[in-house]
Structure 1
């Protein structure tokens, strides 16, 4: 595998892993840092494993089936109804995910001193411009740039905070609140849009690269592994950067967050945090819209540009309006959206199960199908994620 091949293949797995650190993840990381300090680092690092297992299978499916996204593969192998069952359920959840991302952009903008009625329309238009670019490779350049801003911002935030000597890096309890936290983190480690995005983005990009399938499969796996590790390291950085902030501070209250960050990390840290939060929310917003639209239109067999824009607008505008209308009640908006998003672990099971069936199909995967051991690991991971989702709701 040459450097040139790596450069040409790089992108889909990295982008979707960085998008996993969305606005909800950032706010959760802040809350974890406030309450637990460094004591959840072990959990965050462990979450890289299920993240890698599920997404590696999605990427492999796309690498082998050049030009065919997950929705199209399911439709061709089974039926339109089954494909729609997997994609439309994701589409419905993504409406509420959009709201969370827009709130993240609004709060990040307020930290930088820009009101929501300016930031939200600007990023809505910017989002529309990006997804209106019909070539995936051009869209990907924007996404990689945003992901690097996200990475640098939160790593720099952690550096400004500095390492706190003597902090305990491990904690475990059988208390209801702690087991709920662990279960919620496991259940939310993979979102439905991530599976659809990685399969489709990999398939669309790799079809224009003349490398052997073996090279594509190998690199997709390596990139997914790197992305999973870096994604969780960013979460670790967020937790470390906010350790020491009082639990009474509301992460959605930009004044309280700015003041607290200034006290523990210096006067420029709130601005870096704001940039990181906006980058995380905006990257996730784009990836969610692409994954959701691709999956739904592939399932219908109507993956045209006009249909793509129609789906984007039908999800994005209501979410944007809700966020603008409730600028003084972001806590209620977030709680409402997260409550409805709690069903995501159940929805992610549908494409996960279908991928598990497809990934061992020799007719589809040829010599790149999963063997017995990998299939056992895959199904155990799916069960763990589903169990986490059930426990989080109970």
Structure 2
């Protein structure tokens, strides 16, 4: 299985730092990328709705959500640091294919819902600041498609710096908003005492939890912590866990302060003036100037909204890449993944705005956050299981107290969601003119997902996790080649990548050289660590590739072939020619995956860049 976010995996060194401060600073960053998901436009919608309808009384929900988020994100970071697996990869190694496909589908729905909120938020911010129509604002958000690709090519530290600047803009904007609004501090303190004023507050409260504790952030954090290259000894892992927890604590508390500021602003501005129905971001922006008496309030509000949308859309796309690669073991070009993710969000946003008008964007934002909350159980429960597993965590499993706290959080979230689903379905059944349709569709679907959730809860207690999944086993190769009277090639290089393409490549090579030729199997480790450290890299991917290459050699040697191996490090189109040009080879044989044209754009291609760099014939077979 490939590395999570391979292009930046272990690309930030935390070793050889002269001071403790510099070492801590080297670990800081991943949690800030995660924290922007906790202050995205979806949060704004639920916070504004909660503050305008119920005043300060739902502040405790934000605080509780933040504590939940801190524990769950620390578990996610622990999983990535210790196992060098993100949450999607760990799930793929644990559950069956059908279950993984469903979990992947649910994760994609969550990411689409999140991206929908970000698209609408940015579009609303652009509309408010520059008076550009909302539909055009939605379409403009397509232009940031390549920003992530640009930033990630500059390195993860540059991306983290960009995100931190956007977070600072949001933070400073709301510092001034609080100065303008002058909230009632005694009521703010009372708002931290748990209470639910009405039944309608439950819907908003669940939306706040869904907007705060986001499922895609659990996938994201478990991957981002792997961008740090640190000492893999027990002491080094322990230190990495400590510094990442500090990073998470600071970043998530900043996110909590931003969310609390939005809710307090809505309570101090709208609730105080009897404007209980302000749920739309546009309405909030419109009323800020007359209520607060300064033109800067709405301007800062719109600027912060754009910053929130831009920062969270970058991290949402990264999460989408992690989920797709982790669950499906499928890598596509980053820009293609970016466009797909953005279109999944833009299309429903455009359709809804065209049909119902701009007035429903607030309801759409809150609905997106409730959808996120409904997905949470399917991400949290596997995470708790993984970090509690002694074998998987190699002695770094969480304590019994932490396990109990995590299960309490999972129970609260799943119970709230179950109540919400029950209320919604019973409401639909009561008002529906044809309830039999709902009994045949929605009700069975609800029971199916309840069954899936129970399966995920109890499965690890019943069966053990699968061992490492490898891309391809040499013992499954089906070699087909004919015996020839004469062979022209005596020294043959064969490129292998541990996929089904190896079968036809090896068969074709044996057609050329028979039993008497010498064969050299070439494989290139493509991780970022391999590109940076070359043959000095010592990571999980390299160990797996070395093992597979030796298994190929052993299996083919038993069949009577004279086989050597060469392991390269870096980009195949650069490393393979270097290996080939140093050896006295007669021909290089490569298998392909059979994709051309559009698929080359999606998956990338090695052959075109390689064939001009070698001085011997290249045989491409498929």
TM interval, short-chain normalised = 0.7 to 0.9
Is 1:71 the equivalent of 2:88? Answer: yes
| Aligned-pair CA distance for 1:352 | 1.3
- Offset at residue 318 of structure 1 (A): 4.2
Partners of 1:202 and 1:19 in 2: CA distance: 16
Pair 1:85 & 2:107 matched:
no
How far is 1:57 from its partner? 0.6
Of 223, 233, 244, which aligns to 2:269?
A: 244
1:303 paired to 2:331: yes
The 1:180–1:123 alpha-carbon spacing in structure 2 relative to 1, beyond 3 Å, is closer
Q: 145-154 or 32-41, which moves further after superposition? A: 32-41
Q: Give the 5 Å matches for 1:178-327.
A: 178-203=201-226, 205-206=227-228, 208-210=229-231, 212-242=236-266, 243-245=268-270, 246-247=274-275, 250-252=278-280, 254=282, 257-264=285-292, 266-304=294-332, 306=333, 308-324=334-350, 326=353
**Deviation readout 1:214-263 (Å, 9 max, x if unpaired):** 11111122222222322221111112223222526645363662343443
**Distance in structure 2 (CA, Å) of the matches to 1:6 and 1:157:** 32
SS in 2 for 1:342: helix
- SS state of the match for residue 394, structure 2? helix
What is the match of residue 484 of structure 2?
none
In structure 2, which of residues 8, 14, 33 is the aligned counterpart of residue 15 of structure 1?
Answer: 33
Q: Which residue of 2 aligns with 1:110?
A: 127
Please name the residue that 2:55 is paired with. 37
Distance 1:152 1:79 in 2: 47
State how far apart, in whole Å, the 2-side matches of 1:378 and 1:65 are.
19
Question: Using the alignment, how far apart are the partners of 1:253 and 1:42 within structure 2?
Answer: 22
Normalized per residue, the structure richer in strand is 2
CA contact (8 A) 2:219 2:322 kept: yes
> In structure 2, what is the equivalent of residue 159 of structure 1?
179
TM-fit CA distance, 1:209: 4.0
Q: Deviation at 1:187?
A: 4.7
Tell me the distance in 2 between the aligned counterparts of 1:178 and 1:253. 19
Q: How far is the alpha carbon of 1:359 from its aligned partner?
A: 0.3
User: In the TM superposition, what whole-angstrom CA distance separates every residue of 1:66-86 from its partner, at most 9, and x where no partner exists?
Assistant: 3x3222222234454444333
- Farther off after superposition, 68-77 or 56-65: 68-77
| Count of aligned residue pairs for this structure pair | 389
2:394 is aligned to 366
Structure 1 distance, partners of 2:298, 2:399, is 49
Distance in structure 2 (CA, Å) of the matches to 1:334 and 1:95: 17
250-259 or 82-91: which moved more?
A: 250-259
Measured in 2, the distance between the counterparts of 1:368 and 1:383 equals: 24
The answer for unaligned runs of 5 or more in structure 2 is: 1-18, 424-622
- Does the CA-based 8 Å contact 2:52-2:279 persist in structure 1? no
What CA deviation, in whole Å up to 9, does each residue of 1:252-284 have, x standing for no partner?
363662343443151111010001111122222
Counterpart of 2:148?
Answer: 130
Answer whether contact 2:207 2:367 (CA < 8 A) is retained. Answer: no
Match of 2:114 among 97, 100, 106: 97
Unaligned 5+ segments in structure 1 are none
Shift of 1:369: 0.8
Question: 1: distance between equivalents of 2:48 and 2:237?
Answer: 41
Aligned match of 1:389: 417
Superposition deviation, residue 340 in structure 1:
5.9
Output the CA distance in 2 between the equivalents of 1:256 and 1:358. 43
Pick closer, same or farther for the CA change 1:266–1:98 going to 2, 3 Å. Answer: same
Q: Deviations over 1:140-189 (max 9, x none)?
A: 33222222222222232222222336546425346322344334433543
| Partner in structure 1 of residue 515 of structure 2 | none
Distance in 1 (CA, whole Å) between partners of 2:77 and 2:314 is 19
- Equivalent residues of 2:114, 2:372 under 8 A apart: no
Mapped contact 1:9–1:209 kept (Cα < 8 A)? no
CA separation of 1:136 and 1:69: change in aligned 2, threshold 3 A: farther
The answer to whether the Cα contact below 8 Å between 1:184 and 1:391 also exists between their aligned partners in 2 is no
Structure 2 CA distance, aligned partners of 1:366 and 1:265?
Answer: 59
Moved more, 352-361 or 236-245: 236-245
**Residue of 70, 77, 80 corresponding to 1:59:** 77
Distance of 1:265 and 1:15 partners within structure 2 = 35
Query: Structure 1's 264 and 167: CA in aligned 2 closer, same or farther, altered over 3 A?
Result: farther
Secondary structure at the aligned position of 2:190 is classed as: coil
Given the alignment of the two structures, is residue 49 of structure 1 paired with residue 42 of structure 2, yes or no? Answer: no
Greater mean deviation of Cα atoms: 124-133 or 13-22: 124-133
